[in-house]
Amino acid sequence: MANIRIRNTGERIEGHENVAKFLEEQGVLYEHWDTNKLPEDLRGNCQINDEQKAQVLSIFEDEIKSLAERNGYHKWDVVALSEVTPNLEELLKKFEQVHVHTEDEVRAITAGNGIFVIKGSEELGYFDVELSAGDVISVPVDTPHFFTLREDRQVVAVRLFIDPSGWVAHPFQDPQFVETK
């Protein structure tokens, strides 16, 4: 289940109801999928091949279609990052820059962990959403954010798009972020 850390104050928000309420107030969609649906060899496994990625999509087909219908997403895929990913650290450095997109950024974590750092309301500033397997999040269009891994340095996530070409990162220069990092 996701937890929140407010960067300005160090305050933490934990527990499904509190996290869900906080994210709703910030306009961030949050839901949970049951990763116990995954067969044992895929549970917690972030070093997966294309066949296994297809298996993940088929196991969560109902959840994906429900989310897609509710929010107008048309395409989806699976991304896996782990120590076997070439140039993982370089890739993460590229990720760890505040940016915006012209459409929502939707991620359903099916194994491993991740963090979305998101810009909240003006008075709140940036907050971290610490995600683990089963957590589903949609960062709204035009909301400054970035994604990175947690201590385990691995993740598998289903990504949903309105149009994958809309998922281009536009850098967002924000002095406030530097101050609160």
Binding residues for Fe ion, total number by CB under 5 A: 1
Coil, helix or strand for 181?
A: coil
Residue 59: CB minimum distance to Fe ion, A: 25
CB closer to Fe ion out of 105 and 128: 105
CB closer to Fe ion out of 103 and 105: 105
Under a CB-based contact definition with an 8 Å cutoff, are residues 118 and 139 in contact?
A: yes
Residue 102: CB minimum distance to Fe ion, A: 11
**In whole angstroms, what is the distance from residue 45 CA to residue 35 CA?**
12
User: Could you report how far apart the first and last alpha carbons of the chain are, in Å?
Assistant: 24
Query: Looking at beta carbons, which residue is closest to Fe ion?
Result: 105
Residue ranges at the known binding site: 99, 101, 105, 145
| Amino acid at the residue 137 | I
Site string for Fe ion, 80-119 (x = CB under 5 A): -------------------------x--------------
CB closer to Fe ion out of 17 and 181: 181
Under a CB-based contact definition with an 8 Å cutoff, are residues 92 and 74 in contact?
A: no
CB closer to Fe ion out of 59 and 88: 88
CB closer to Fe ion out of 105 and 130: 105
Both tokens of 137, joined, read 């999040």
Residues with Cβ < 8 Å from 122, sequence gap 6 or more? Answer: none
Q: Is 44 exposed, middle or buried (0-12, 13-18, 19+ CB in 10 A)?
A: middle
Residue 16: CB minimum distance to Fe ion, A: 24
Residue ranges at the known binding site for Fe(2+): 99, 101, 105, 145
Residue 105: CB minimum distance to Fe ion, A: 5
Under a CB-based contact definition with an 8 Å cutoff, are residues 116 and 129 in contact?
A: yes
Contact set with Fe ion (CB under 5 A): 105
